[in-house]
Amino acid sequence: MENQKAEYREAVAWSYQMLGLTKAQDFKNPEALEEELTNYLNDLIVKDFNKLIGILYRIDISQEKAVAALAQNADKETAGQTMARLIIDRQKEKLYYRKLYSK
């Protein structure tokens, strides 16, 4: 369980850094960072959708996967929450494979 929390914290931190939102100084509260990430993504959806598509491409999330997730979760959460979850899950997946093959 503690390992999952550490992986989540690391994935959120990495997501945040890849988006250029912070210098990764304090990641003791990943939930707060996820909320900030959600707000940032909600803002991008409204103001700069092309930038959001570029971010998803850079993180390796297909536009089709993003659209499907948005459609599936439209009545459950905001679009920013869905995108943040996709980004964090993808980063966790990358971390898993990085650790698996770095041995």
| pLDDT (tens digit per residue) in 11-61 | 777 676 666 666 555 556 777 778 888 999 999 999 999 998 898 998 899
Give CA–CA dist 46/59, Å, rounded.
20
Any idea where the domains of the chain sit in the sequence? Answer: 2-101
Q: Residue 44, class by beta-carbon neighbours within 10 Å (0-12 exposed, 13-18 middle, 19+ buried)?
A: buried
Please tell me the pTM assigned to this model. 0.77
Compute the half-sphere exposure of residue 42: CA atoms within 13 Å on the CB side of its CA: 11
Predicted confidence at residue 76, as pLDDT, reads: 93
